[in-house]
Structure 1
Amino acid sequence: MNTPTHQLSSEEVRVIVDADDLHISPLRADGVTYGTPTWIWSVRVDDALYVRAYHGQSSRWYQAAVLHKTGRIHAAGLTKEVVFEPISGPLNDRIDAAYRAKYASSPYLGAMISSRAQAATIRLAPLES
């Protein structure tokens, strides 16, 4: 059975966040096929990689991620099988700060640090075979 391991390596997280080109593909309803890759913002906090759903918990990719708990990411030439770990609580304040620092000039920043998006925060961890 697949289980989550430690975090992605610090270098992998740096490369992914710096490239700002993360595509996420949770498993589809069949639990086997990967969904269509969705481009998504990513941030780094303490060498861990976090993403949020712009449309909150109603986002299709978020719902699939929470239901199936695994999927795949593509970024900066890397392809990784990952586990989706929902995040809540005080860590969201630090994740907000990372979004503010990285996307300060974006008109979409407000939506990404809203309570709606906070409720759909996911930590990406590597999947162990």
Structure 2
Amino acid sequence: MSTWTEDQLARVGEAEEVQLTSTRPDRSLRPYVTMWVVRAGDDLYVRSAYGATNPWFVRALASGRGRIRAGGVEQDVHFVAADPGVHAGIDAAYHTKYDRYGPAIVGTVVGPEAAAVTLRLVPAED
């Protein structure tokens, strides 16, 4: 697995939304879904606002691979579980970036329940 360049981190991290898709077993791409994305340190994260049964999340976990588009960046990615110690920083990033939408909306992607449905986006080399 690879790492993001500083330019990619800035562009995706500053984008309002990311378009994300997972791969099917035949490696074709599913339709894109639009969601929020945050940067915490040198990593990019997404969370399932509607829990672990949200279809995009189930498919992303099953395939482990996909593609994102945001901020002029289009990149194949691996979906990786976030390390346990990073969730406070991810919560803070969501609050900083999206609190203007109100606590009811931001509340769906922060806190202990959101930690369980957090995926780190890791650039794929192949």
TM-score by length of 2: 0.90
Partner of residue 11, structure 1: 7
Partner of residue 69, structure 1: 64
1:24 has 2:24 as partner: no
Partner of residue 100, structure 1: 95
Q: CA deviation at 1:105?
A: 1.4
How far apart are the structure 2 equivalents of 1:115 and 1:55?
Answer: 14
Partner of residue 113, structure 1: 110
Match of 1:60 among 35, 55, 61: 55
- One-letter amino acid matched to 2:47: R
Q: CA deviation at 1:103?
A: 0.9
Q: List aligned pairs for 1:36-55, cutoff 5 A.
A: 36-55=31-50
Q: Report percent identity of matched pairs.
A: 28
Deviations 1:44-86, CA, capped at 9 Å, x for gaps: 1112111101112111111111111100001122210000001
- Name the Cα RMSD after superposition: 1.4
Give the SS at the match of 1:85: strand
Partner of residue 126, structure 1: 123
* More displaced stretch, 119-128 vs 14-23: 14-23
Unaligned runs of 5+ in 1: none
- One-letter amino acid matched to 1:63: V
